[in-house]
A and B are shown apart, each in its own frame.
Chain A
């Protein structure tokens, strides 16, 4: 039994923190709200740190690391709201690695950037594969896929795809006539592919609606579990980003609670503030335990990964929502002003909870997985 980070993992995390600390990410997050061109492009940083190849095997030019390590990097990016396209890229590389695809070396070298078109696996209440809809509560059907030789022909739309603008490759999951998932890799510039960049509330996240109209891509031969694994990896990654952001919210709030005085006392001495901040800590610690669970399960207990990743997302999503609001509360009026950092974390929380199926969908998945094993 050892449920702590290894020395290598500590080093990996320190290196990521060091690389990101050279950029003024929060300043850029604010500036990009008024001018999207000022969004800090950290692709070069990601490439020189080897992050595109995190989940790609060493023989194909990658680092050959596991999901656990990827989550540590995502946590560091989330901590400073860095615009590093891990959420779109890593699930895509997981599918490509499973197919041992010919593009792996190029991706690991940072020459091609793939993006994952998230498709949600069936569930008890929603028996088909679905994707994020453009608007409204009902999920949209996943793209239809038809095999033609080594190719797949895809039709359908996936909305609010993280990190899609600027990607060279799309890794899509579509369903065949029998409802079974098939995976393909497409050129972003292929006929029938339309990528409509968009932004919502959090300028650090680059999103796009992706429309496929008879678009052709190379079919990827993967195990039946692989498309679902990519979905849950994306859930775990957004959880890890959220956890990092919670940590920053807590640090800033605690520091302020020690130095701000009211009625002759530091506000952190009031139980109302102290208890709100220990609640942030409680939720943070719970989310961290579940991040470890998710990272461990992906390597050692793949059967439990859907439960673990969903629990991590549910926990970290709720924690970020709470922590960002607490950060505004603790700072009082100044926390609700444009110049302050609190609104940047609040914006991150607001968008994150609604992407990739939403935080509540992950909570429902925890319920479903647990009920499935209840005798």
Chain B
């Protein structure tokens, strides 16, 4: 049981810290709007510098421009970036999830074409999985790719909740290529150029009024035969690789959370709140939960460092974090009173943002189903879609509603 660096890790940390000390003046601010083109350009340039210094793609193999290091070193970089109060890479989704999927399932041509520009921020990527009618039940997607006679593909459909689509060069897209087999079987993963004719990106306004995510529409988009990743009909397995890398990022945990820091400052600055037993009780409970997430993050990381993959229970950290964030925000806003809801208040943004986060990456309810079944071994829910060809599913669902 030891949270300290080994001599090798300490040397790596010193090297990272030294580079950041020398270059932190060149970094853009840690936060800014995705709709501000200048800010995004500055973040791309910063990612390039990080990549050249070996601070991006830390866990990628060396042959693809990475550092070939382990998850502990990735966390070291994250910690040092936070310590230096500078932003990290812009394309977290590409480098953290989609790049590793290409490394695992892509052809040599795909790897040599796409990985370098991704790493250096020249080409940002987005993840085109969720649809209006397929979120937690991802395999229910309806976006359809049909094979043309010359082996190319024609894509139609709609994706939603797409981060970074406004300025992404490519997207990794899950589409249905065979509706006449059960829903997990007829899927294929594609690389989609976001500037292809027929691709439309539209900002998705949320509760706050801001558009942090996008909807993406595909109208007869033509894809070359070599746009397929991981083989036709293997899309589900390829998607699971992406989702696994998503889970791995959980353990690389932040050590501080904006909402709880702001809450602590708000209580400390308000003598009446500070002496209020109910405020202290809620605050103590929230901080206890956040401490638990932090130290469970270290447990998950220790598992990863030994080459094992943390189980689905690691997903419980997300449930804890989001709910603790909601409680922290509500308490902070309660202390401030109606002023908390002013447009420029630090609380009003969080109040608007957090309810939707409960469903991000799969709803809390679906996550609890998965963990109940995979970790606790509880029997599954009865379901209508097992073994049924996707094309027949809609009529079975309609029948069930009519019954």
**Using a CB–CB distance below 8 Å, which chain A residues touch chain B?**
1-6, 9, 68, 124-125, 250, 254, 257-258, 265-266, 268-269, 271, 273-275, 277-279, 281-282, 285-290, 292-293, 295-296, 299-300, 307-308, 311, 314-315, 318, 360, 363-368, 370-371, 373-375
Contact = CB atoms under 8 A, between A and B. Distances in A.
Contact of B289 (A6, A250, A286, A374): A286
Nearest to B373: A274
Contact of A371 (B267, B293, B305, B313): B267
B291 A254 contact: no
B297 to A, nearest CB: 8
Contacts of A281: 313, 316, 371, 375-376
Given A275-B365, A366-B288, A289 B299 contact: yes
A42 B134 CA distance: 57
B378 A274 contact: yes
Contact of B296 (A254, A269, A273, A286): A286
Contacts of B292: 285-287, 289-290, 311, 315
A2 B376 CA distance: 26
Interface of A is mostly: helix
6 cross-chain pairs, A with B, having the tightest CB-CB distances, nearest first: A286-B292, A374-B264, A367-B284, A274-B372, A363-B284, A289-B296
B280 A368 contact: yes
A363 B285 contact: yes
A279 B380 CA distance: 17
Contact of B288 (A2, A5, A277, A314): A314
B285 A269 contact: no
A296 B373 CA distance: 32
Contacts of B7: none
B378 A277 contact: yes
Interface in B326-379: 365, 368-369, 371-373, 375-379
B381 interface: yes
Contacts of B365: 271, 275
B195 interface: no
Nearest to B319: A282
A286 B320 CA distance: 9
Interface of B: 1-5, 9, 72, 75, 261, 264-265, 267-268, 274-275, 277, 280-281, 283-285, 287-289, 291-296, 298-299, 301-303, 305-306, 313, 316, 319-320, 365, 368-369, 371-373, 375-382
B281 A6 contact: no
A241 B299 CA distance: 21
A218 B373 CA distance: 58
Contacts of A289: 291-296, 298-299
A363 B373 CA distance: 32
B291 A311 contact: yes
A9 B319 CA distance: 30
A3 B1 CA distance: 5
A279 B2 CA distance: 29
Contacts of B274: 124, 371
Given A289-B293, A308-B291, A374-B267, 18 more contacts: A1-B2, A2-B1, A3-B3, A3-B298, A271-B369, A274-B373, A278-B375, A282-B316, A286-B292, A286-B293, A290-B295, A292-B295, A299-B1, A364-B284, A365-B284, A367-B284, A371-B268, A371-B283
A3 B302 contact: yes
A72 B306 CA distance: 22
A254 B376 contact: yes
Contacts of B268: 371, 374-375
A19 B285 CA distance: 35
B316 A1 contact: no
Contacts of B294: 289
B303 to A, nearest CB: 7
A268 B283 contact: no
A277 B373 CA distance: 11
B303 A278 contact: no
10 contacts: A3-B295, A9-B1, A273-B378, A275-B365, A277-B376, A281-B375, A292-B299, A315-B289, A363-B288, A374-B267
A268 B373 CA distance: 9
A77 to B, nearest CB: 20
Given A269-B379, A281-B376, A368-B280, A2 B368 contact: no
B212 to A, nearest CB: 28
Given A4-B299, A4-B303, A286-B296, A271 B379 contact: no
Nearest to B364: A275
B57 to A, nearest CB: 21
Given A3-B298, A4-B299, A370 B265 contact: no
Residue of A3, A279, A285, A311 with most chain B CB atoms under a 10 A cut-off: A3
A246 B151 CA distance: 58
A367 B75 CA distance: 27
Contact of A268 (B281, B299, B378): B378
B313 A257 contact: no
A318 B292 CA distance: 13
A307 B295 CA distance: 13
Given A269-B379, A274-B378, A364 B281 contact: yes
A250 B313 CA distance: 15
Residue of B1, B2, B274, B371 with most chain A CB atoms under a 10 A cut-off: B1
B313 to A, nearest CB: 6
Contacts of A254: 376-378
A363 B281 CA distance: 6
A88 to B, nearest CB: 26
B308 to A, nearest CB: 10
A123 to B, nearest CB: 10
B291 A290 contact: yes
A222 B287 CA distance: 32
Given A360-B281, A370-B283, A3 B299 contact: yes
Contacts of A308: 291
A273 B368 CA distance: 11
A285 B379 contact: no
Contacts of B275: 125
Contacts of B378: 254, 257-258, 266, 268-269, 273-274, 277
Contacts of B75: 1
A367 B3 contact: no
A265 B316 contact: no
B306 to A, nearest CB: 8
A274 B365 CA distance: 10
Nearest to A363: B284
B295 A293 contact: yes
B319 to A, nearest CB: 6
A370 B283 CA distance: 9
Contacts of B301: 1, 3
Contacts of A370: 264, 283-284, 287
Residue of A68, A269, A274, A314 with most chain B CB atoms under a 10 A cut-off: A274
Contacts of A373: 264
A39 to B, nearest CB: 33
Contacts of A273: 378
